[in-house]
Structure formats: structure tokens, C-alpha cells
Amino acid sequence: MAVEVLVLRESAAGERRVAATPETVKKLLAAGAQVRVEAGAGLDAGITDQAYLDAGAQLAGADARAQADVVLCVQSPPAEAIAGLKQGAALIGQLQPQADQARAQALQARGLRVFPLERLPRTTRAQAMDVLSSQAGMAGYKSVLIAAQLAPRFFPMLTTAAGTIRPSKVLIVGAGVAGLQAIATARRLGAQVEGFDVRPETREQIESLGGKFLDLGVSAAGEGGYARQLTEEERAEQQRRLAEHIRGVDVIVCTAAVPGRPAPKIVTAAMVAGMKPGSVIVDLAAETGGNCELTRPGETVEQGGVTVAGPLDLASMGAVHASEMFARNVYNFVALFLKDGALSFDWDDELLAKTAWPEAPVVKAAEAGAA
Ligand code: NAD
């Protein structure tokens, strides 16, 4: 019996992406799987059912969820849908199991092999599977476009018959994957761009994109290449210098995050009050509470002439390319355990073992041989 792979139609509000494309369907077929796709799964990402059929997939019937050995999704299906999946099936996506108690229980009750891709170790080998990076790239890009749209000004310098327009000053807070893409995008739009981060290595990265590194005198490199939480003194110093600087900035795009914690609050209400009317803040960290005190997730508010946007689902706004990248990430992960038409989980492979939730099976040797 061939391994059955099912591509889910997403059900979360605002989700437009899909976890497989015709390109990755072909690769899954070449790896010996049968692929079924739920009707309409790709429509919001510009992929028709016919395009999947042309790639060799079949449309999923009513029994597909109960039969699939491997289920691909972007976000986790709800608890009720999880209960309808086959016992022991592998579920792959940005599942955030801990974010919802009922979902976590359903996943465990069903005995699924759960692979939340956000748990993937960020090693060189894992880069081709790294959904956090691929989706952050789209989010960073869109956040700057939203800022440009909201700002009552040009981003580039213009020399016109009506005189010279000075370029907008854009500050990117946090220079991880999303922040660096935001810097590159704002530069392409012609703005004067500055960025800062607490990881010292970002200076070179910001400068290589044509941005200026804003030195706030705080360095807080943590484990695994991530930032650590700042101490109270460090935070106070960062705040003091930033408050001064922000007065001259037209646009702020916030992207700072610390894994497993709410977004650090960096831009205070008092700092916003010190900004010029007509300034804009786009807070990409809104999903985890926001870097700005005034951010309201999913809303755009105005205070003292400053617009503060907290857009959600930024990656979904670019669903075509975000899905293309997400689907390749997912395929590359599936290829770790789908070989020659059979499933084989090598729990000695840290990419599988560390991604598995709540943890990889302990009987490693037996598992690797039996599956
Ligand atoms: P992230 O989304 O967790 O954080 C975004 C940025 O916010 C980070 O650069 C962080 O340093 C910064 N930040 C946190 N607190 C801050 C504060 N108080 N003030 C200013 N900035 C603050 O991070 P990310 O974008 O997912 O990635 C972070 C790191 O992981 C980078 O070094 C990146 O190169 C690395 N990475 C490695 C791989 C890989 O090798 N596979 C893949 C992706 C990312």
C-alpha cells in the first residue's frame, strides 16, 4: 500500500496559504507517495484544483482524512478535525500545539506523530525546511509596504519641479530574518534606513543591506543564535537612547522577538508621544503582543497624529510566494522520513527528534527499523 499524503484546506481565519504546491506534489509522487488534496485548498494562494490534478494529485474524498498516513497543513486543524485523522498518522505544519489546550489534548489522544515545524533546530542543514525564516521574509517585506501605504509621504528622495523632497527616515527595530528583509525593502523604496538589534553581529548584516546600524549601547546575544531577554538596566539604557533618537524618525517597523516569550516592549507610549505627527509605526510583532505599547493586534490606531498598525497574518498577505516557500520547506522535511514509497523515522536524526512533539519516541532503534 502506497503512503498516502493529504494536503489540508486551511480553516484558520485569515489563512490564505497552502502547505503543498503542484511542484511539491510532483516531488512527493516521485518519492513514492500518493497525494490527495482537499478541494479548494490552494485557491487563496492562486492554485486551482486542476493545477494539482495536472501535477498528478487526486482530489480528497470524504474518507481521505481517516486514511492519510501523512497530513500537511500550514496551521493546525482544530481539535474536532484532529480527532478524525488516522491513528498514528504524521501531522506536519506550524502547529503551535501548546497554544491551545484542546488541540494539544486531541493531538496526543490520537497518537499522532506531531511535527510542529517551528520547533525545527535552526542548523545549517535545517535551513531548507525552516518555515520561520521563509515566512518571516514575507512578513518583513509586507510590513514595510504597509508602512509606505500608511505614511503621508514619499519614501525616496525626489527632485521635482516643485522642489526637492527629502527621503523618509525609516527605523527597523530588530534585525532578524523579518527585520533584514524589511531593511532591504525600505532601501529599495529609497528610504534612509536605520536598524538596531541586541545581537552585535547584526551590525554587519544591516550595513551590508545599505542600512545604518543604530548603536543603543546594548548587546544581548543569547543561546542558539537568538537574543536573550534584557536585564532591567540594559532595557532602561536602550529606552533612554531610543527615546532621544525616535523624535527624528518618520517610520518605525518593529520586528523584535525573543523565542518563547511575549514580544519585548521597546517603543513606549511616551516615545510615541515624542514622535512627529504623521509618523507611522508598523508592529510586525503584534501576533505576540507587539513591540510598541500602543499596538492593538489586528488594528490600526492613531494617537497624537501617529498611526500605529498591528497587522496579523502578514505572510498570508503574500500567499502565493509564501506558500511556494512553505511547501518546499514542508517537502524537504517530509523527505527526511519518506523514502522509496515507505515511511521510516530515524530518531537519531536530530531534525526529526527535536521537531517531534511533545518528544520523540524513546525506543529509537526499534522505531527506525520497524516503520
Ligand atoms: P526572532 O524572530 O526570534 O527575533 C527577531 C529579532 O529581534 C532578532 O534578531 C533578535 O535579536 C531581535 N531582538 C530581540 N530582543 C530585542 C530587543 N530588546 N531589541 C532589539 N532587538 C531585539 O529571530 P529570527 O529572525 O527568527 O532569527 C534570529 C537568529 O536566528 C538570527 O541570527 C538568524 O540568522 C538565525 N537564524 C538561523 C537559521 C539557520 O541557520 N537555520 C535560520 C534562521 C535564523
Contacts of 359 (CB under 8 A, 6+ apart): none
| Active-site residue set | 122, 127, 130, 133, 226
**CA diameter of the chain:** 77
Name the closest-CA residue to atom 13, ligand 1.
Answer: 256
Residue 266: CB within 6 Å of ligand 1?
yes
- pTM score, whole prediction: 0.94
- Determine which residue's CA is closest to atom 11 belonging to ligand 1: 227
Grid cell of 352 as nine digits: 526529526
115, 139 Cβ separation under 8 angstroms:
no
Q: Where in the chain is the domain with CATH 3.40.50.720?
A: 3-119+336-370, 137-317
**258 Cβ closer than 6 Å to some ligand 1 atom:** yes
pLDDT digits (tens), the chain, 371 positions: 899 999 999 999 999 999 999 999 999 999 999 999 999 999 999 999 999 999 999 999 999 999 999 999 999 999 999 999 999 999 999 999 988 999 999 999 999 999 999 999 999 999 999 999 999 999 999 999 999 999 999 999 999 999 999 999 999 999 999 999 999 999 999 999 999 998 999 999 999 999 999 998 888 877 777 888 888 988 888 889 999 999 999 999 999 998 888 999 999 999 999 999 999 999 999 999 999 999 999 999 999 999 999 999 999 999 999 999 999 999 999 999 999 999 999 999 999 999 999 998 865 444 544 44
132 in contact with ligand 1, CB cutoff 6 A: yes
Strand partners, 36: 6, 58
Which residue among 141, 194, 198 is best mutated to probe the pocket of ligand 1, counting the most ligand atoms within 8 A of its Cβ? Answer: 198
Instruction: Please count the CA atoms within 13 angstroms of the CA of 142 that sit on its side-chain side.
Output: 21
Residue 127 near ligand 1, beta carbon < 6 Å: yes
The dihedral through the CA atoms of 193, 194, 198, 200 has a sign that is positive
pLDDT, tens only, 197-252: 989 999 999 999 999 999 988 888 777 778 888 889 888 888 899 999 999 999 99
Cβ of 55 less than 6 Å from ligand 1: no
Q: Give the residue whose CA is nearest to atom 10 of ligand 1.
A: 227
Q: Which CATH number fits domain 3-119+336-370: 3.40.50.10880, 3.40.50.720, 3.40.47.10, 3.40.228.10?
A: 3.40.50.720
3-class DSSP state of 197: coil
CB 116 within 8 A of CB 90: no
Pairing of strands 163-165, 158-160: antiparallel
Going by the DSSP 8-state scheme, the letter that residue 198 receives in this structure is S
CA distance 46 to 51: 10
99 CB-side CA count, 13 A = 14
CATH superfamily, with its number, for domain 137-317: NAD(P)-binding Rossmann-like Domain (3.40.50.720)
Pairwise CA distance, residues 353 & 342, whole Å = 19
